[in-house]
């Protein structure tokens, strides 16, 4: 089934000022609701796709609650050729009163993805003292399986394990644990802190096998062994996304929009660029790095940090290696714990994982031996 995600940036405004926000070029603009309806109609009647994920984004999209409600109810009132789902990202602070009532009524037709950064004190420093403004039980009751997003800053790194454990204790799974962009993460203090935090978190997950492991320690390490045969050109989600800004203009994703880049920068970026593999490969990394296939990559972040789509932020290299190292430890323990059920595991994947575990441990134990000696 061919699917696509269409995002509508319905406002540049936000009621918070998160310390790591990359959306710095905010303007007050009104959207054309009829134009949005026409775009949605074209996709829902298209022969090219069979399923459409329609997402409202911002800024904080619920500042434009009337836009969201009108468009959703217009779509729900009609018959369409293609399947569809509605989704909104949110900081959660506006989801109260009549908005809650409406969302609860339609919680099977539209989902909300929440951002939380950990324990209340950490979240408040990162995200404008907003923790107490979020009705966490409401999100858990209405979308119990919806993972949340978390962003890591130098400050929150110091309690990363506690932050993730706390979010699990509330009942959440994590969809992403992203390191904030635009920071030089190569600092030795950051690396040693991350090592200690991931060690603590790994030990906790080993003691709680019933908990779904956060993506920060759940990397598909087997891809390190096979990507040159099966994954020659690693891509982000941008090939499956089109983001429409408030003026109706299409962009490759929600990162590469006028909220982050100047019009002059954006004029040099074309949607077709994301379908030309040679423009997206970091040749140095692809040639020299064993971890290339599992290295998180955002082309918008590359453009922000290095001025082009392909060149990755090398200050994050050691973060990726440490994540891979502790992912390998968890993976090896999982294989050992399930050796009596090995026939039920993926027989093609296990040999790749075992080779990757051995290689990753060798690389990282040599590279981080000074950090390890201090613990």
Domain identity same for 340 and 217: yes
pLDDT at position 358 over 80: yes
Answer for the pair 216, 167: CB distance below 8 angstroms, yes or no: no
For residue 237, the model assigns a pLDDT of 60
Domain of 110, CATH number, reads: 3.20.20.70
Q: Please report the sign of the dihedral spanned by the C-alpha atoms of residue 84, residue 90, residue 92, residue 93.
A: negative
Domain identity same for 347 and 264: no
For residue 232, the model assigns a pLDDT of 45
Domain that holds residue 42: 1-114+236-279
Q: What is the rounded average pLDDT of the residues 178-186?
A: 93
Instruction: Please list, in sequence order, all residues whose beta carbon lies within 8 angstroms of the beta carbon of residue 140, skipping any fewer than 6 positions away.
Output: 170, 171, 172
Mean predicted lDDT score pLDDT of the chain: 91
Q: Is 66 left (phi over 0), alpha (psi -120 to 50) or beta?
A: alpha
DSSP string, 157-215: HTTHHHHHHHHHHHT--EEEEEEPTTS-TT-HHHHHHHHHHHHHHHHHHHH-TTSPPPG
The percent of residues above 70 in pLDDT, for the chain, comes to 93
Task: Note whether residue 323 is domain-resident.
Answer: yes
29 versus 55: the higher-pLDDT residue is 55
Nearest to 292 by CA among 317, 315, 329: 317
Per-residue pLDDT band for 167 (boundaries 50, 70, 90) equals very high
Q: What is the rounded average pLDDT of the residues 33-46?
A: 97
- CA 115 to CA 112: how far, in whole Å? 10
Helices 188-207 and 317-337, interaxial angle, to 10°?
Answer: 20
User: Tell me: the pLDDT tens digits for 217-230?
Assistant: 999 999 999 876 55
For residue 122, the model assigns a pLDDT of 98
For residue 268, the model assigns a pLDDT of 82
Task: Note whether residue 350 is domain-resident.
Answer: yes
For residue 205, the model assigns a pLDDT of 97
User: Tell me: the pLDDT tens digits for 114-160?
Assistant: 999 999 999 999 999 999 999 999 999 999 999 999 999 999 999 99
Per-residue pLDDT band for 59 (boundaries 50, 70, 90) equals very high
User: Tell me: the pLDDT tens digits for 329-355?
Assistant: 999 998 888 776 665 667 788 899 999
Answer for the pair 60, 113: CB distance below 8 angstroms, yes or no: no
- What pTM, to 2 d.p., does this model score? 0.93
Task: Note whether residue 119 is domain-resident.
Answer: no
Domain identity same for 59 and 192: no
Residue in this structure with the two tokens 């983001």, named with its chain if needed: 243
Domain identity same for 199 and 307: yes
User: Tell me: the pLDDT tens digits for 363-373?
Assistant: 999 999 888 77
């Amino acid at each position: 089934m061919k699917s696509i995600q269409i995002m509508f940036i319905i406002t540049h405004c936000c009621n918070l000022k998160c310390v790591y926000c990359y959306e710095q070029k905010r303007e007050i603009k009104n959207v054309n609701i009829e134009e949005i309806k026409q775009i949605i109609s074209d996709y829902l009647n298209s022969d090219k796709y069979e399923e459409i994920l329609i997402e409202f984004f911002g800024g904080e999209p619920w500042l434009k609650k009337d836009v969201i409600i009108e468009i959703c109810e217009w779509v729900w009132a009609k018959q369409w050729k293609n399947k569809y789902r509605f989704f909104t990202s949110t900081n959660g602070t506006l989801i109260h009163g009549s908005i809650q009532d409406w969302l609860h009524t339609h919680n099977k037709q539209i989902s909300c993805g929440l951002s939380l950064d950990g324990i209340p004190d950490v979240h408040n420093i990162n995200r404008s003292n907003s923790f107490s403004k979020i009705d966490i039980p409401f999100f858990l009751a209405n979308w119990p399986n919806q993972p949340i997003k978390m962003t890591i800053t130098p400050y929150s790194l110091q309690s990363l394990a506690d932050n993730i454990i706390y979010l699990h204790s509330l009942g959440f799974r994590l969809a992403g644990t992203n390191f904030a962009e635009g920071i030089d993460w190569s600092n030795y203090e950051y690396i040693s802190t991350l090592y200690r935090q991931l060690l603590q978190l790994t030990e906790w997950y080993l003691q709680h096998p019933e908990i779904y492991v956060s993506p920060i320690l759940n990397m598909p390490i087997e891809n390190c062994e096979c990507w040159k045969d099966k994954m020659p050109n690693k891509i982000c989600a941008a090939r499956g996304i089109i983001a429409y800004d408030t003026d109706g203009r299409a962009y490759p994703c929600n990162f590469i929009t006028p909220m982050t880049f100047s019009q002059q920068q954006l004029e040099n970026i074309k949607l077709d660029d994301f379908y030309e593999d040679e423009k997206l490969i970091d040749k140095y990394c692809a040639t020299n790095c064993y971890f290339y296939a599992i290295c998180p990559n955002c082309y918008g972040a590359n453009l922000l940090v290095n001025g082009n789509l392909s060149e990755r932020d090398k200050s994050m290299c050691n973060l990726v290696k440490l994540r891979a190292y502790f992912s390998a430890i968890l993976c090896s323990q999982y294989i050992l714990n399930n050796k009596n059920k090995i026939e039920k595991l993926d027989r093609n994947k296990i040999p790749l994982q075992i080779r990757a575990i051995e290689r990753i441990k060798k690389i990282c134990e040599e590279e981080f031996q000074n950090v390890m000696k201090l613990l």
